[in-house]
Structure 1
Amino acid sequence: MAESAQTISDQIHDMLDDLTRAERQLALSVLENYPASGLGPLTALAKDADVSVPTVARMVQKLGYKGYPEFQMALREELKAKVKTPIAKHDTWAEAAPSGHILNRFTEAVIENIRLTLSQIDPVAFDHACDLIADVNRHLFIVGGRITHTLAEYLFLHMQVVRSDVTHVQSTANTWPHYLLDAKEGDVFVIFDMRRYENNTLKLAELAHGRGAKIILITDQWRSPVHQMATVCLSNRIVVPSAWDSATTTMLLLETMVSSVQTLNWSQTKGRIERLEDMFDETKLFRKFT
């Protein structure tokens, strides 16, 4: 059995560049719903990833296991060890609260979401998304849903400063034709769609894709149906001990994206910020303490 201080997820991520196309497709499928994806029958895993059974067997062997049963045994042992001996379990984030307090449980869940998300995002895909967003020759449309419209607005407000030709598509379907009217081939749509995936968002994506637009999808680990049309799909973990999903990891991605696009467009962005600050001074929008 393979011996490693790394998790199986870490091992898979480290070997992504050395896999064949089919093996990489399988690896991404495993990582997408890790660890549950590796606990079912071999044939089910192959079917979910749309690869052959021999492909699963080859990748398992590349990980250092003799076969799929040994791989599953290692995965179960990893989960068992995690339950028995959580790393630094005696340390808590909110020291004044018990380790089981919601402040600590929620924080641990968020940090695990961040770790898993960053281990699974392809930096090349992320950079490609930023390049598309930064390209001022492409009109940028930003779309959110019932809850994610707040994330869409956050990105929109920053992109308004960073670059020109940015549109925030409102989340009411009866206005979409007005926005799509001027969309051209090669324009970019950043679409937020988390579970419960919205039919209206899917329809908008279909219309935009039909006009030749590039779609950057920001979604959860199960992936919105929009991913089938996306040029880049950025999945992130959202599950926390709450009736609502967490936006923390998504916000981390957004803020990193804003930083990247700002750097790519700095020559234009610097001038836009200077002009904006001049307008703020003229309108006395902000208090000055000097």
Structure 2
Amino acid sequence: MTKPPLTVRELIRDQYKTLTQSERKFANSLLENYPVAGLASITIVASNADVSTPTVARMVQKLGFKGYPQFHQALLKELEAKVSGPTQRRENWAAEAPEGHLLNRFSQAVTDNLSQTFSNVDTGQFDAAVRQLANTEARLYVVGGRITRALADYAFTHFQAIRQRVTHMTSSSATWPHYVLDMEPGDTLLMFDVRRYETNLQRLAELAAERGVKVVLITDQWASPVTAVAEHAFNCWVEIPSAWDSNISTMMLLEAMIAATQEESWDKTKERYDRLDELFDTTRLFRKFS
């Protein structure tokens, strides 16, 4: 299976160093409200970014497009992918499905997703996010959405063992103001949000960011709107031959974060693990083999 084409966001990231100052101005304007900011005519998007029309045309060509219409069409396709539901996703795969057994196609899709995800992780951003997740001087909050709440639960279980002061926010948005009430500057909010993006999660992120909370976001390749307020955002590739998106690459990235956070302050974490094992022995929760 061939790899999916790069998104416009990824093309900008790859070519950013080659852009002129005015071209970067347009690129930054586009990324601030992506991809909607690029869906108008070339004259309108240039005006909104306070650059000239030729500047937009030059940048578009540097990204590999023949002209603005092709660039515009690429953004439209990305927007369509963002809002597509299970039925549309299934039809997209059925129309383009290569020959062969589903297991082979599924395996190849997952492999490609993992490769794309980890090749696009900025190690500096990853390390900075891990330092936030490991900072016990501040509280760590974890929350997910309709599908990703399972990831949030998994993250909470591990981070609660690794460090103290971890709060798992319920999936009911009606309770979130109670958590926000206790959030303080420097706290961290680990969020999971994939298409279709949830407006309640976006509002929660905005409220938290307004209070000085550092948002760490794990999202898909199209990027949740939460990206706009996130301190660190990580994109995971999720498309598979199914009506549903895959959480495999998302889970892999999460597990990498868990492992790195564990190592960030291993001495303290080891002590917690040892004490936790003693408690498990006391409660006889797990069967022991001698």
TM, length-normalised to structure 1: 0.72
Task: Return the offset for 1:207.
Answer: 1.4
Instruction: Confirm or deny: 8 A CA contact 2:142 2:190 kept in the other structure.
Output: yes
Mapping 1:77-92, distance limit 5 Å: none
Label 1:172 to 1:20 Cα distance change in 2 as closer, same or farther (>3 A).
farther
SS at match of 2:145: coil
User: TM-score, normalization: structure 2?
Assistant: 0.72
Are the aligned partners of 2:205 and 2:229 in contact in 1 as well (CA < 8 Å)? yes
1:121, distance to aligned residue in structure 2 (A):
2.0
Aligned to 1:155: 155
2:101 maps to 1:120: no
The alignment partner of 2:285 has SS state of: coil
Q: Find the aligned partners of 2:50 and 2:120 in 1 and give their Cα distance.
A: 19
State the partner residue of 1:84: none
Partner SS for 2:190: strand
Name the CA shift for 1:12/1:102 in 2 (closer, same or farther; >3 Å): same
- Number of aligned residue pairs: 250
Distance 1:8 1:201 in 2: 27
Q: Is the 8 A contact 1:23 1:55 kept in 2?
A: no
CA contact (8 A) 2:216 2:230 kept: yes
Can you list the C-alpha shifts for 1:159-198, whole angstroms capped at 9, x where unaligned?
Answer: 0011110000111011112211210011110111111111
Tell whether 2:232 aligns with 1:271.
no
Match of 1:154, SS state, is helix
Runs of 4+ displaced beyond 3 Å: 7-27, 40-44, 50-63
SS of residue paired to 2:275: helix
Which digits, 9 at most, give the CA deviation of each residue in 1:31-55, with x for residues without a partner? xx9xxxxxx99959x87xx696666
1:125-157 Cα deviation digits (max 9, x unpaired): 111111111111111000101110000011111
Shift of the alpha carbon at 1:219?
0.8
Contact residue 142 and residue 168 of structure 1 kept, 8 A: yes
Which ranges in structure 1 are unaligned for 5 or more consecutive residues?
A: 1-6, 34-39, 73-97
- Contact 1:143 1:152 (C-alpha < 8 Å) held by counterparts: yes
1:247 aligns to 2:242 (yes or no): no
**Identity between Structure 1 and Structure 2 (%):** 46
- 1:167 maps to which residue? 167
Following the alignment from structure 2 to structure 1, what is the Cα–Cα distance between the partners of residues 25 and 101? Answer: 39
Cα displacement string for residues 188-224 of structure 1 (whole angstroms, at most 9, x for unaligned residues): 1011111111121112112111211111111111111
Q: Are 1:194 and 2:190 counterparts?
A: no
Aligned AA (1:245): D
Q: Indicate how the Cα distance of structure 1 residues 41 and 200 shifts in structure 2: closer, same or farther if over 3 A, else same.
A: closer
**Superposition RMSD in Å:** 3.7
Could you tell me how far apart the structure 1 residues matched to 2:40 and 2:182 are?
48
